[in-house]
Amino acid sequence: MSAPAATFIYRLVKVRIVTEQPVELIDITNDVAALVCDVEMQDGFVHMQSRHVTTAIVLNEGDVLRIRPAASLEVADGRLKLGKNERALLVESNGPEARELSIILIGQGAAEEVLADRPTQWEGALQ
CATH number of residue 71's parent domain:
2.60.120.460
Q: State residue 117's pLDDT score.
A: 41
Q: State residue 122's pLDDT score.
A: 32
> Tens of pLDDT along 2-16?
666 779 999 999 999
Cα 105 from Cα 1, distance rounded (Å): 31
Q: Tell me if 115 is assigned to some domain.
A: no
| Whether the Cβ atoms of residue 35 and residue 98 lie closer than 8 Å to each other | no
Residue 101 forms beta bridges with which residues?
15, 50
Nearest of 9, 35, 7 to residue 107 by alpha carbon: 9
The whole-number mean pLDDT for each consecutive block of 10 residues of the chain, a chain of 127 residues, reads: 77 93 94 94 95 91 80 95 92 94 93 44 34
CA atoms within 13 A on the CB side of 91: 16
Q: State residue 124's pLDDT score.
A: 34
**Number of domains observed in the structure of the chain:** 1
Query: What is the number of residues in the chain?
Result: 127
Which pTM does this prediction carry? 0.80
Q: Tell me if 20 is assigned to some domain.
A: yes
